[in-house]
Amino acid sequence: MSGRYSGRDVFEYAVLRVVPRVERGEMINAGVVVYCRARSFVAARTHLDVGRLRALDPHADVEGVRAALHAVECLCRGGAEAGQAAADDAGRRFRWLVAPRSTVLQPGPVHTGLTADPEAETERLLEVLVR
């Protein structure tokens, strides 16, 4: 180990899962949330596959799920759309988003990695884990 900076920073991420019937535990991946402390970066990218969602629950509230996914993206962006959370730093917003919950939209476990470009990593994770 040389101890030199490699140009890559540690990042954390969690997959956003849609669990249309919580009692059954079946889920589909619908997004990712990425946080990089070194860059004060937090972002979410989402993609809802309605066909897969309907396969799990034909009566799923698609618009409600879309609204929840949109809210996560807004919270990550900050600004007026994030409400009170806009005043929180990126790390606090990420921790709030990845806290375990028993709702239709649930975060998966937090994983870590190294990246030189958190924005590109967010897109890559969406492609690999969601689409």
pTM for the model = 0.89
Rg (CA), the chain: 15
Instruction: Dump pLDDT digits (tens) for 44-74.
Output: 999 999 999 999 999 999 999 999 999 999 9
Domain ranges of the chain: 9-129
Is residue 12 within 8 A of residue 111, CB to CB? The reply is yes
Backbone region of residue 130 per phi and psi (left: phi > 0; alpha: psi in -120 to 50; beta: other values): alpha
Instruction: Dump pLDDT digits (tens) for 81-125.
Output: 767 777 788 999 999 999 998 889 999 999 999 999 999 999 999
